[in-house]
Amino acid sequence: MSWLSVDLQFFAGEKTEKATPRKRQEVRKKGQVAKSADVTAAFLMLIVFLVLSFSSGMWRDAITRLFRQSFQHYFFMDVTIDSVQLIFVDLLQQLALLVGPIFLAAIAAALFANFVQVGFLFTTEPLQMKLSKLDPIQGFKRIFSLRALVELLKSILKVLFVGVVTFSILWMHIDDILSLSHKSVGAIAATLGRLTIQMGLVASVALLFLSLFDYLYQRYDFEKNIRMSKQDIKDEYKKTEGDPLIKSRIKQKQREMAMRRMMQEVPKADVVITNPTHFAVALKYDEQQADAPIVVAKGADYMAQKIKDIAKKNDVMIVENRPLARALYDQTDVGMVIPEAFFKAVAEILAYVYKTKNKL
């Protein structure tokens, strides 16, 4: 059995267990999540080309108006500091109005793609300066790691896939391309713009398709990296729930404190009901505190004997009633008002006690 225990200890450090919710929460706070940058890039590219596709007419009119204004108005203006500044500001405003919708669409697409993958997450942990990132040995390990090889193969696959798709678009429109030399400048621009948007949309869909596989790989790699060993899970449990030895000591201290408080209440009791050796229940009746007697202390065996000793030292009357003592011990807790079923029996005992002590 000795060699078997050593073997189990050897494998205890292997990270074979799925990450616990606490571990997932900790790595998420550090910005470590299962996310594919390819999904974000492909979706952003698709949205941008869709916006270009639907706003192509607006772009054509805006560019035509910009060229017409430049050659009909700006061309005849005197070259001064004020005129140059005026032209620059005017052109900048027109370009901002032209590019602004695409820029906003790109930002919205990037935010949406990231939200779909990881939900809402804001952390500055990845931006913090860490000297470990400057370690050349770790840098070489990252460069020549399996992950780097996978990223290289992904890049080659993306280039080949997008290249084939875009070339197919060009090949299907080869007649339009060969006839460009016989068209006007406007027709050439329209044809090139249409082909560019078509290639962009098809390439975006192709990249989005490939990015789904990348997302699955990123999830697999993430789950693999956050795996835990059996010892890690035990250590986390100790941190979360506390060391069992310490918890037992704390509970013991709490029991001792509760016992001391309970014993301090025995001298204030009106009567201690016993069976007489195994159980003892101390009762106190205060009409201002409750409508019925309250259990201020109870115990069995050693504790019962201790309650009786304290009662004797403080002239608290002890009454023997075997069934009542056992029933009160089983059905009540310290600080609890006695159940209604015991009112008559306890009232008779208290009357006897008060009579004995001349309290009536």
Domains of the chain: 17-121+134-237 (no CATH), 261-357 (3.40.1690.10)
CA distance readout (Å), 105 to 45, 46, 196, 216 = 10, 10, 19, 26
Q: Which residues of the chain have pLDDT under 50?
A: 1-12, 360
Name residue 169's amino acid.
I
Query: How high does pLDDT run on average in the chain?
Result: 80
pLDDT of residue 119: 76
Separation of alpha carbons 296 and 272, rounded Å: 10
Are 293 and 350 within 8 A, CB to CB?
yes
pLDDT of residue 4: 44
Q: Quick: pLDDT tens for 308-320.
A: 888 888 888 888 8
Three-state secondary structure call for residue 149: helix
Separation of alpha carbons 293 and 275, rounded Å: 19
Question: What are the helix (H) ranges across the chain?
Answer: 2-12, 21-29, 37-54, 56-72, 81-118, 136-143, 146-172, 174-178, 185-225, 230-241, 244-265, 302-313, 322-331, 343-356
Separation of alpha carbons 239 and 91, rounded Å: 63
Residue at token pair 């890039």 = 41
Q: Which of 338, 321, 358, 320 is CA-nearest to residue 283?
A: 338
First CA to last CA across the chain, in angstroms?
75
Separation of alpha carbons 78 and 81, rounded Å: 10
CA distance readout (Å), 153 to 149, 160, 210, 293 = 6, 11, 12, 81
Q: Quick: pLDDT tens for 44-67.
A: 989 988 888 888 777 777 777 877
276 CA to centre of own chain? 58
Of the chain, the percentage scoring pLDDT greater than 90 comes to 0
Q: Quick: pLDDT tens for 268-319.
A: 888 888 887 788 888 888 877 778 888 888 888 888 888 888 888 888 888 8
pLDDT of residue 5: 44
Are 46 and 201 within 8 A, CB to CB?
yes
Q: Is residue 327 packed enough to be buried (19+ CB in 10 Å), middle (13-18) or exposed (0-12)?
A: buried
